[in-house]
Chain A
Amino acid sequence: MKIINCPLNGPRNAQEFVHGGEFVAMPDPHRSSDAEWSSFVFLENNTAGVVREWWCHVPTAYWFIAERDTIKDEFIRTYDPSEVFRERVEFAKPPAQGS
């Protein structure tokens, strides 16, 4: 059984975690083009090597960031998102609909 080091709960069995996808900045949903948004939603870097990803410890519903080597299948570092997000990410108000 693989052990993943959860920043909140310490080392836990890999089965308690789910993979949440690549860590990429979200474009502004109201101002991005269809192509930019579909690229964010669907396209993957799918890097062979060291990647930065979202993971979730399911029993505690705790999301964190992991740096992982996809070739060696090794977790290099896991940390709380507060290391990256110092403040809340705000998007501008959506443009008025219709009229």
Chain B
Amino acid sequence: MAFGLIKYGLSPRYPGKRFLSRQPELKSSYDVVIIGGGGHGLACAYYLAKNHGVKNVAVLEKGYIGGGNTGRNTAIIRSNYLTPEGVAFYDESVRLFQGLSEDLDFNILYSERGHFTLAHTDAAMRTSRWRAEVNKHLGVNSEVVDREDLKRLVPSLNLSEDVRYPIMGALYHPPGAIARHDAVAWGYAGRAAEMGIEIHQGTEVTGLEIEDGRITGVVTNRGRVACGKAMQAVAGLSGVMANMAGFKLPIKTVPLQACVSMPLKPFLDPIIVSGSLHVYISQSSRGELVMGGSTDPYPRYQTRSTLDFIEGLMAHILELFPFLADVPILRQWAGMTDMTPDFSPVMGETPVKNYYIDSGWGTWGFKATPVCGKRMAETIATGRVPALLQPFRLSRFEEYSLVGEKGAASVGH
């Protein structure tokens, strides 16, 4: 058996499929340069080629594709937000995600689990009802459930009232899902490359060339590249890139940590979130519990894991699932998030002409990958910002028309 497999593996009749073709030399000029090869940048490149026929595109990635926050999030997909702008935006993303494996001909292990946002206080119950009503009004499936429903739907959840924060009910969002996050980056990268998009890994942008307030090129560690248009999609380094472009952003770079346990037999089908306890937990298809909490208490450009985080998170997780007390943690890591003051992203135009931005993704970026890629591609190709992205423009801050998204991950109400 094993020998047969080795023979099969080495046989020239079954050559291994190269996922990305060999990295080409950088050309001297592209129509569009995308800075950042995470899910968002790669999705944008894919939709530029597929929907708009713009194929003279380079994606420049400092490290390797999907090596940043795309591979560091807890892979939760949902659209049960609070603001109508947010719900409409994330709903389109969920719909795109549902067909993404087929669209990309690549299995992203999309798994619809149902999503519970637990409420431990009257205020949180009120917010749950508010979110449910906004969701239903916009055609998103959400409803408020009580303790009896929870007992039936999540039998492993500790509903005891003898804890610090007893559970009163929850906002139930059946379409809530998880997916394999790095597969999303690989799927988009593979299909984009097939259509002629160049993906350059190990290529760091060190400067921007701006003439008369218009982007004309980027300087990289592999030389200068001219471009007609450019977009930055660099998450935690958004401020550093914006600094090169000469404008400021309403963004702080704050680490967000997460961890996984050793694999267990499947016992937790839905995704469980508690805004008041600052936890979210789901069980991956491999059986590991994927757990995350709130961001670190102060901004840094660093991805160090801390004991403080894991202690604080586990104190709350053990209230929800006391039987996990003896389960070892397998891995812990951090990503650098780009947090905005209103918990909504910053997308669209910038003070520099033809230079677009895709940032402010804080703790809610992965679930927006397809819609953001699609709509930013539309923005770049047509030069017009679609209505869906308008509320998230950078200039909303000087207009004082913020989009206060209290439905963001781990935001207490």
State in angstroms the CA–CA spacing of A44 and B298 once bound together: 14
By a CB distance below 8 angstroms, the chain B residues around A2 are 308
- Chain B, range 230-286, C-beta contacts under 8 Å to A: 237-240, 248-253
Taking the closest CB of chain B, its distance from the CB of A68, in whole angstroms, is: 8
Does A91 lie at the interface of the complex (its beta carbon under 8 Å from any beta carbon of B)?
no
Tally chain A residues at the interface, Cβ within 8 Å.
21
Taking the closest CB of chain B, its distance from the CB of A13, in whole angstroms, is: 9
By a CB distance below 8 angstroms, the chain A residues around B397 are 38, 42-43
A43 near B249 with CB under 8 A, answer: yes
A70 near B299 with CB under 8 A, answer: yes
State in angstroms the CA–CA spacing of A90 and B184 once bound together: 55
| A38 with B398, Cβ < 8 A, contacts A46-B239, A46-B251 known | yes
B298 near A19 with CB under 8 A, answer: yes
Encode contact with B along A32-71: 1 for CB under 8 Å, 0 otherwise: 0011001100111111100000000000000000000011
- Chain A, range 9-31, C-beta contacts under 8 Å to B: 14-15, 18-19
A71 near B248 with CB under 8 A, answer: no
Encode contact with A along B337-357: 1 for CB under 8 Å, 0 otherwise: 000010000000000000000
A39 near B308 with CB under 8 A, answer: no
Encode contact with A along B381-413: 1 for CB under 8 Å, 0 otherwise: 000000000000000011010000000000000
State in angstroms the CA–CA spacing of A15 and B308 once bound together: 9
B308 near A73 with CB under 8 A, answer: no
- Chain B, range 58-80, C-beta contacts under 8 Å to A: none
Number of A-B residue pairs, CB cutoff 8 Å, is: 60
Which of A1, A19, A39 is within 8 Å of B248, CB to CB?
A39
By a CB distance below 8 angstroms, the chain B residues around A70 are 253, 299-302
| A46 with B400, Cβ < 8 A, contacts A15-B308, A18-B297 known | no
By a CB distance below 8 angstroms, the chain A residues around B299 are 19, 46, 70
Does B304 lie at the interface of the complex (its beta carbon under 8 Å from any beta carbon of A)?
yes
State in angstroms the CA–CA spacing of A45 and B240 once bound together: 9
Which of B239, B251, B341, B398 is within 8 Å of A35, CB to CB?
B398
Taking the closest CB of chain B, its distance from the CB of A72, in whole angstroms, is: 8
| A44 with B308, Cβ < 8 A, contacts A38-B397, A38-B400, A73-B300 known | no
Question: Size class of B's contact patch?
Answer: 20 to 34
B298 near A43 with CB under 8 A, answer: no
A42 near B253 with CB under 8 A, answer: no
B248 near A44 with CB under 8 A, answer: yes
B249 near A48 with CB under 8 A, answer: no
State in angstroms the CA–CA spacing of A45 and B298 once bound together: 15
| A44 with B297, Cβ < 8 A, contacts A1-B308, A73-B302 known | no
State in angstroms the CA–CA spacing of A34 and B307 once bound together: 43
State in angstroms the CA–CA spacing of A38 and B397 once bound together: 6
State in angstroms the CA–CA spacing of A15 and B312 once bound together: 11
Taking the closest CB of chain A, its distance from the CB of B254, in whole angstroms, is: 9
By a CB distance below 8 angstroms, the chain B residues around A18 are 297
B253 near A46 with CB under 8 A, answer: yes
Which of A18, A34, A35, A42 gathers most chain B CB within 10 Å? Answer: A42
Encode contact with A along B319-348: 1 for CB under 8 Å, 0 otherwise: 000000000000000000000010000000
State in angstroms the CA–CA spacing of A45 and B237 once bound together: 12
By a CB distance below 8 angstroms, the chain A residues around B237 are 48
State in angstroms the CA–CA spacing of A18 and B299 once bound together: 11
B248 near A48 with CB under 8 A, answer: no
A43 near B297 with CB under 8 A, answer: no
State in angstroms the CA–CA spacing of A38 and B224 once bound together: 35
Encode contact with A along B298-316: 1 for CB under 8 Å, 0 otherwise: 1111101001100000000
* Extra inter-chain contacts (7) besides given A46-B249, A46-B299, A48-B237, CB under 8 Å: A42-B341, A44-B252, A45-B248, A46-B240, A48-B253, A71-B301, A73-B304
6 tightest A-B CB contacts, nearest first: A46-B239, A19-B298, A42-B250, A43-B248, A38-B398, A42-B397
- On A, residues with C-beta under 8 Å from B are 1-2, 14-15, 18-19, 34-35, 38-39, 42-48, 70-73
Please name 7 pairs of A and B residues whose Cβ atoms are closer than 8 Å in the assembled complex, sorted by A.
A14-B308, A18-B297, A19-B299, A34-B400, A44-B249, A70-B301, A70-B302
